[in-house]
């Protein structure tokens, strides 16, 4: 049995236990939608009565994912942008990555609508014109632009024209004494 079939079977069993919870939408069923090969894994959408998640099922032999600790977050790059996934695991399918799309599922009034949405998600993920940077990427670009502006402004500043002349009194008092001309003017006024 394929990993995708195992995934569906596992969540069918989970669905039986979830049916009494208030987040369960009874018009929906468990379905796997649009799974396709991606980076030595299979990527697709899992539809359940309580959530819709993007799922990546890595081949157990795939060493591209060394840390598979449950709950660990991992960014995944797709043509439409970067997505944050969380590691999960079951006995039946082993480790998998999950990215939440919808939860709960009450905005879907039919199973057909949920499946159509999942199909559209799979199309949109692989279309580069849908690229949307993450908040982290936007902040990073902003910081890089500020750094370039600061560097450019440093290069534009005129250089100082050498040190200013300091009197002996100014040197000995670290510049805290009045200048010699101001002091002599104040003596003359008495």
Q: Which domains are delineated in the chain?
A: 3-132 (3.30.1460.40)
Q: Mean pLDDT, the chain, as a whole number? A: 84
pLDDT exceeds cutoff 70 at 188: no
C-alpha closest to that of 57 among 92, 22, 30, 26: 92
- Please give the Cα distance from 169 to 182 (Å, whole number): 12
pLDDT attached to residue 189: 47
pLDDT tens digits along 86-103: 999 998 888 999 999 999
Q: How many residues does the chain have?
A: 190
Which tops the pLDDT comparison, 104 or 162?
104
The pLDDT value recorded for residue 172 is: 67
Q: Report the share of the chain in percent with pLDDT over 90.
A: 51
Residue 117: per-residue pLDDT: 97
* Average pLDDT rounded to a whole number, residues 55-83: 86
H or E segment to which residue 66 belongs: none
What tokens appear for 44 in the block? 């697709």
| Res 21 pLDDT > 50 | yes
pLDDT of 113 strictly over 90:
yes
CB atoms under 10 Å from CB of 56, counted, come to 23
């Amino acid at each position: 049995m394929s990993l995708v079939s195992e995934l569906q079977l596992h969540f069918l069993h989970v669905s039986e236990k979830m049916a009494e919870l208030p987040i369960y939408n009874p018009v929906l069923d468990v379905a796997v939608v649009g799974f396709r090969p991606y980076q030595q894994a299979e990527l697709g959408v899992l539809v359940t009565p309580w959530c819709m998640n993007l799922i990546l099922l890595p081949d157990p032999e795939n060493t591209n994912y060394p840390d598979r600790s449950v709950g660990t977050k991992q960014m995944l790059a797709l043509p439409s942008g970067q997505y944050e996934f969380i590691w999960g695991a079951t006995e039946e399918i082993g480790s998998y990555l999950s990215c939440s799309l919808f939860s709960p599922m009450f905005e879907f009034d039919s199973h057909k609508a949920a499946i159509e949405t999942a199909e559209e998600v799979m199309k949109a993920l692989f279309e580069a014109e849908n690229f949307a940077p993450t908040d982290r990427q936007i902040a990073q670009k902003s910081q890089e632009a500020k750094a370039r502006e600061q560097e450019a402004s440093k290069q534009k500043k005129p250089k100082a024209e050498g040190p200013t002349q300091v009197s002996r009194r100014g040197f000995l008092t670290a510049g805290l004494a009045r200048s010699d001309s101001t002091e002599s003017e104040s003596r003359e006024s008495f």
